[in-house]
Amino acid sequence: MPSAKYETEVAASPDLMMSVITDFDSYARFLPEIEGCEADQVAEGEWNVRFTVKVVKRLRYTLRIIKKSPTQVRWHLVDGAFKANDGGWDLLALDDGDRTRASYFIELQIGMFVPSSIMRTMVERSLPETISRFKEEAERRAATS
């Protein structure tokens, strides 16, 4: 199962970074591959989020996303185009909470045949770009608050 882990430092507090991670309604605005994102809260800090993404082809899937703590999010696949999609975010406060070290990890297995070159592109290029977009969105919100 392809897996990846990325870390980045964000010029925003962990609280602000978490608010970006859990603001599912805004994903389509700053993540261009997202065509649709609908979240239903099933419990405090727990959502079923239905995604429609366009990466080579249109994929639809639902993740159960759980906010485990103010600095930790985990998800797992409920249904859709993948055999597996498990991952999470860990946030660590830096500089007295003014900055964040954001760690993102994912284990992904597509439910259909996908050439290895496309999987490599998704893991090596697309995922780091996605993390960078979360960072940019958090920093944009920090600059305007």
Higher pLDDT, 114 or 65: 65
pLDDT score, position 81: 84
Q: Show the domains of the chain with their CATH numbers.
A: 3-144 (3.30.530.20)
Torsions phi, psi of 35, nearest 5? Answer: -90, -25
- Give the 3-state secondary structure of residue 1: coil
Axis-axis angle for helices 14-21, 127-144 (nearest 10): 120
Question: Among 51-55, 73-77, 103-107, which stretch is predicted with the lowest mean pLDDT?
Answer: 51-55
Tens digits of per-residue pLDDT, 64-101? Answer: 999 999 999 999 999 998 888 999 999 999 999 999 99
CB contact at 8 A, 82 and 55: no
- Give the 3-state secondary structure of residue 65: strand
